[in-house]
């Protein structure tokens, strides 16, 4: 079945350093979505990427979708303590409704 692999599993950075998490799907995706889950909270939708090679920015966050629509990345510039949490990518196959989640990358930050 479809799998979405996400690395790294954990990342600890100093405040102000950059952070990147990567996702790779075993199959071509219709779109990929990114979610953030704070400790003790629930996943919150961040963004959706649909087009091949698409790049979207949200303030310090940059999201990319690969040309083959099988991989994606989330890059955070100059991390802040508010960025702490687990970032999940989730892929959607063409015509499908259910998301397949990556394992998540747990980001912790040293202030």
> Which residues inside 18-57 make contact with another protein, applying CB under 8 A?
30, 33, 35, 41-48
Site for another protein contains 88 (CB under 8 A): yes
Query: Both tokens of residue 62?
Result: 């940059």
Residues with Cβ < 8 Å from 83, sequence gap 6 or more? 19, 76, 107, 109
Site for another protein contains 104 (CB under 8 A): yes
Site for another protein contains 91 (CB under 8 A): no
- Whose CA is closest to 26, among 1, 55, 53, 50? 1
The distance of closest approach from Cβ of residue 21 to another protein in the complex, given in angstroms and rounded to an integer, is 13
Site for another protein contains 58 (CB under 8 A): no
Write out the residues near another protein by the rule CB under 8 A. 30, 33, 35, 41-48, 88, 92, 95-104, 106
């Amino acid at each position: 079945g479809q799998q979405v692999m996400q690395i790294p599993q954990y990342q600890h950075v100093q405040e102000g350093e950059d952070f990147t998490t990567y996702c790779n799907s075993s199959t071509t995706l219709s779109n990929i979505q990114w979610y953030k889950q704070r400790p003790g909270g629930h996943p919150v939708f961040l963004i959706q990427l649909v087009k091949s090679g698409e790049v979207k920015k949200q303030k310090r966050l940059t999201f990319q979708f690969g040309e083959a629509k099988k991989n994606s990345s989330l890059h955070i510039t100059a991390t802040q303590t508010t960025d702490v949490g687990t970032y999940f990518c989730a892929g959607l196959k063409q015509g499908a409704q259910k998301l397949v989640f990556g394992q998540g990358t747990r980001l912790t930050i040293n202030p």
